[in-house]
Amino acid sequence: MARLIRESFAEVEPEADELAQYFYGALFVVAPDCRDLFPVTMTTQRSRLLRALVYVVQMVDRPDELVTFLGQLGRDHRKFSVVSRHYDAVGIALIAALKRFLKEKWTTEVASAWTTAYGLVARTMREAAQAETGPAAWAATVLEHRKLSRDVALVKVRTEGLLPYRAGGYVSVEVPQRPRFWRYLSPANAPRGDGQLTFHVRAVPGGWVSGSIVNHTRPGDVWRLGPSMGALDVRPTSTKRPLLMIGGGTGITPLLAILDDQSRWKRNPPVHLFFGGRRPEDLYALEELRRLAATSKWLTVTPVTEEGALAGGDRGTLAHAVTQRGAWQNHDVLVSGSPPMIQATVAQLLARGIDLERISYDHFTLD
């Protein structure tokens, strides 16, 4: 099944955008009420679908990781009031889209593989959603909004009721300026008893939601937050090896949360953190990291810039800087940043002989 799914997806991948467009068209015909769950502009949603499909294809023969991800996704989808018939409609639309684009390569065996795989996906998500007893979403009031740099803002919110999450995770966020445009953001702080979460958001070119958050959020705004998700997780009981952390841009936020959590531990493994950006001004959290390193003997921070120099820093891409500094075979590795940065860095680490099982990163956090 894994082979058939990978091979058939490789056939349609060059037409992935058209496939996603056809899929949503078919879905809204089969289940018209689904249209109200999505924003007017579907470009980002189509991209998100493709990334989810790619992830499922990559993990189809790694069931433990896939089940964890799908369980989180099922719990997160409760905020949309998704019901069983919506899962059925998605399955019908997905099979129709694959059949249309695979054409004569849509064989009985390929159809069986995709039907079986989607059945497992839908069942895992349904069961996780049905087993969840907590809120589907949390209201969160904005307490503070300030610029950390020209295009990065810090936003502090307080939830109504505690939102359970682990340091390093992320949550889906809806802001009042952009209803139904859900985006994934990582808290930059470890969980606190007062319900406060801090986010760092960069306004990306053309980013409807990120630009709105950075430029138009005001104290008193009420956000909606979905359940916690994510694969980045470091706990005292599970950490035996030294840690290598690699963060690019605002991808540093989940790593900041983990460091915040670690700063309260009685004993820490050695941590070497590489924080990278194109220019020195992109390393907006560097002074905070250096202050933490000055009081934490277990933490080493290396800034990395592609253009311009920083004292004590390296020049080049994060992938190049990390692999030039050491072999890292004895480390557990956490990588966070843009998808191209993650792909390049993980590829370099694998080429250096680091086991994929020791590298953690999230596939689904960037839009």
- 77, 182, 200, 321 from 129: Cα distances, Å: 8, 18, 29, 42
Nearest to 97 by CA among 153, 163, 28: 28
The per-residue pLDDT for range 290-300, each reduced to its tens digit, is: 999 999 999 99
Whole-angstrom distance, CA of residue 185 vs CA of residue 169: 9
The per-residue pLDDT for range 236-249, each reduced to its tens digit, is: 766 679 999 999 99
The per-residue pLDDT for range 117-154, each reduced to its tens digit, is: 899 889 999 999 999 888 999 999 999 999 999 999 99
The pLDDT score that the predictor gives to residue 367 is: 39
Q: Classify domain 1-131 at the CATH topology level.
A: Globin-like (1.10.490)
Nearest to 214 by CA among 111, 142, 287: 142
Whole-angstrom distance, CA of residue 155 vs CA of residue 53: 31
Domain 236-361 in CATH 2.60.40.1220:
no
Whole-angstrom distance, CA of residue 189 vs CA of residue 261: 8
CATH class of segment(s) 138-231: mainly beta
Structural domain spans, the chain: 1-131, 138-231, 236-361
Whole-angstrom distance, CA of residue 136 vs CA of residue 99: 34
- 149, 156, 175, 204 from 212: Cα distances, Å: 16, 15, 9, 10
Query: Around Cβ 116, how many Cβ atoms within 10 Å?
Result: 13
Residue 302 token pair:
């290396």
The per-residue pLDDT for range 199-243, each reduced to its tens digit, is: 999 998 888 899 999 999 999 999 999 999 998 988 876 667 999
The average pLDDT across 93-113 equals 95
Whole-angstrom distance, CA of residue 359 vs CA of residue 332: 6
Query: Is residue 245 within 8 Å of 337, Cβ to Cβ?
Result: no
